[in-house]
Amino acid sequence: MIFYITVLLVNILILSIIYIILRRRIDRLTDNGRVTDELARELDTILAEINQATDRNILIIEDKIKELDLIIAKTEQRISLLRKDELKRPEPTELRKTDLTYSHLNRMNTMSALVTPLKVPEKIIEEEIDEKQKVIELYRSGLSASVISASIGLNMGEVELIISLFRQKENKQD
């Protein structure tokens, strides 16, 4: 019987030691100050990384702004030179076919004498029809003009023109 009591006391002592050790570990892990310090360190690291990325992006944007300022300055110089050149140039008294511009064409009554008919190869016409059909099919499937433009390789204006002509054609049929 003494043996059982001794074994029981030893087991209680071992369990008490295990309880104390586990309790200390749990207290250390749940220590609010320690957890707060770890979170603060992690947040500081993240903020430092964000600040570095922001600084890099700001420098890139500033460089692009400088490039754009240079381009604008060059463009303004060219415009002023073109205006000076235009002021120096005398008004043409008689138009030649080589001197025609869009504004001259608007002033003329007979453009048909200047325009020569173009012969377009049938292969090019077929390719244009195929592209138009692709645009219409993609539009019918619910895709936007920008997505269609990117997928086919046409510019946005062409795609929007094809779609608007298709809509007009559908409205006339209804």
Place 43 in a pLDDT band, splitting at 50, 70 and 90: very high
Measured distance CA(96)–CA(100) in Å, rounded: 7
pTM score, whole prediction: 0.33
Measured distance CA(120)–CA(63) in Å, rounded: 47
Measured distance CA(135)–CA(62) in Å, rounded: 40
For 98-114, what is each residue's pLDDT tens digit? 555 555 544 554 444 44
Is the pLDDT confidence value at 92 over 70?
no
Is the pLDDT confidence value at 11 over 70?
yes
- pLDDT for the residue 90: 63
% helix, strand, coil for the chain, step of 5: 80, 0, 20
Is the pLDDT confidence value at 58 over 90?
yes
The mean pLDDT of 41-45, rounded to a whole number, is: 93
For 116-150, what is each residue's pLDDT tens digit? 555 545 555 566 678 888 889 889 888 888 888 88
For 15-32, what is each residue's pLDDT tens digit? 999 999 999 888 877 777
Using the 8-state DSSP alphabet, how is residue 110 labeled? -
- What residue segments make up the domains of the chain, in order of their start? 38-89, 118-174
Quote the percentage of the chain above a pLDDT of 90.
30
- pLDDT for the residue 109: 46
Is the pLDDT confidence value at 45 over 70?
yes
Name the residue among 62, 43, 39, 63 with its Cα closest to residue 51.
43
- Cβ partners under 8 Å of residue 135, min gap 6: 148, 152, 154, 159, 162, 163, 166
Q: How many other C-beta atoms lie within 10 A of the C-beta of residue 145?
A: 20
- pLDDT for the residue 10: 94
